[in-house]
Amino acid sequence: MQPCLAISQWIHTEVLELLSHSFRLIPNLTREQLPREELLRRSREADALMVFVPDVIDRSFVKACPRLKIIAATFEGSRNVDVAASTERGIWFTSIQHDPLLTPRLEPATDELRRLATLEAAACIFEALDGEMPKGATNNPLKEVPHGPPCTS
């Protein structure tokens, strides 16, 4: 059975298509932010959750999602994600690492930057669900690092 991936915000059709080969998807097909309760309802059975800047993932949200193995942010840093609660529950948290040479050419948040951010977050999800330490991990919910430190390239 394919792992379940909940996606909190709209992402490009081609990225959804790519992910659909490996995941049972619960996407947000609108360009509107989901109300918290709707996002929580969609995330309860998810193995992975892709989040965006406006999303708030606090301790109670994490607690209500018992199957989560990774929360992958499409932004740099942890902003509105309770990383401590994720770590306590054994859930990876990753955030993308902006390339300083690429990002200024794509600001403000263009469609291309959004596409790249979702692809990078997806790569982290694949790594975590394969039992590897995902690139961009800001926590280590495991007692031992399975495959060494994250890539820095």
Token pair belonging to 62: 């994490």
Give, in order, the Cα–Cα distances in Å from 42 to each of 72, 85, 92, 108, 134.
16, 19, 19, 29, 23
Q: Supply the mean pLDDT for the chain.
A: 86
- Integer Cα distance of 33 and 38 in angstroms: 10
The count of residues in the chain is: 153
Residues of the chain with pLDDT under 50: 100-103, 105-106, 144-153
Q: What angle do CA 114, 67, 96 make, to 5 degrees?
A: 25
So what's the pLDDT on residue 153?
Answer: 35
Q: What is the pTM assigned to this prediction?
A: 0.85
Residue type, 46: A
pLDDT tens, position by position, 108-148:
557 777 888 899 999 999 999 998 889 888 888 875 444 44
Name the fold adopted by 4-129. Answer: Rossmann fold (3.40.50)
